[in-house]
Amino acid sequence: MKYSKLHLAKQAISHKGFIKKIPDIFRMVKMWKKGEYPMRSIDIILPLLGLLYVISPIDLLPEVAIPVLGVMDDIAVLSLTIPKLIKEVDKFLLWEAERKHTKIIDAEII
C-alpha cells in the first residue's frame, strides 16, 4: 500500500510546526479542564477525537478492504482536525501571553 496510517500521521504532524505545539496542546487542555481557559468544549473535543480516529486501528472505511477510500477518509479527518487544533492552540497562546502581561499588582490607594 502506498499510503499507510503511519505515513499520513507523519505528514499531518509536520503541518505548520505541529510538533512544537504539542506541549502547548497539553497545557491548553489542562487549563481548560481546570476552568482557567475559556473555550467551548466542542472546539477541543472534536479535533482530539479526529486525531484519535486516525491513530486508532478501527476505521469506518478500512484500508485493507477499500484501499483508496480507506486512506481518503483519514486524509479528510486530518485535513479538518489539524488546522482546527492549531487555530485553537494559537488562540490559547495569545490568551496566555495577554494574561502574563496583565498582572495586577497589589497597591494601596493613598
Strands (E), the chain: none
Per-residue pLDDT of the chain (110 residues; tens, 9 = 90+): 455 555 655 655 555 567 788 888 889 989 988 988 888 888 888 888 888 888 877 777 776 677 777 777 878 888 888 888 888 888 998 988 888 776 656 656 66
The secondary structure element, H or E, covering residue 68 is: helix 67-101
* Cα distance between residue 21 and residue 23, in whole Å: 6
Report the pLDDT value the prediction gives residue 110, as an integer from 0 to 100: 63
For residue 78, what are the contacts with CB-CB under 8 A and spacing of at least 6?
A: 8, 9, 11, 12, 50, 54
